[in-house]
Structure 1
Amino acid sequence: MRKRWWKVLGLAGVMGVAATGVVMARAERRRRAYTPEEIRAKLKEKVEGQAEGRRS
């Protein structure tokens, strides 16, 4: 009976690692879908927002 629990636990761990890999791959695909112009615009917005926060 103990072996069965270890097998189930091991299988759950493997499935968790696989699911994490899938999530990371999707995020990477979304990140790489931006054009360089879009990235520059987002960075400028972020910097301007931080600069305004410091002035307040």
Structure 2
Amino acid sequence: MRWWKMLGLAGIMGVAATGVVIARAERRRRAYTPEEIRVRLRERVQDSQPEGRRS
């Protein structure tokens, strides 16, 4: 095979692998319930605030 064919096949495989990673992340993101999202956001906000400002 010529080098450009190998390069094309590698590119196609890279695109397919990227699609799999994106689909997996999307499935994981959509698996949260609204209450879980609220709890996680509140935790992130609380962790980002300085010690003196936490309530």
Scaled to the shorter chain, the TM-score interval is 0.7 to 0.9
TM-score (normalizing by structure 2): 0.87
Shift of 1:32: 0.2
Deviation at 1:51, TM superposition (A): 1.3
Higher relative contact order by CA 8 Å / sep ≥ 6: 1 or 2? 2
Identity of matched residues, %: 72
Q: How many residues align?
A: 53
- Give the TM-score of the pair, scaled to structure 1: 0.85
Moved over 3 A (4+): none
Specify which structure has the higher proportion of helix. Answer: 1
| Structure 2 unpaired stretches of 5+ | none
Whole-Å Cα distance in 2 between the matches of residues 11 and 41 of structure 1? 44
CA RMSD of aligned residues (A): 1.8
What does residue 15 of structure 2 align with?
17
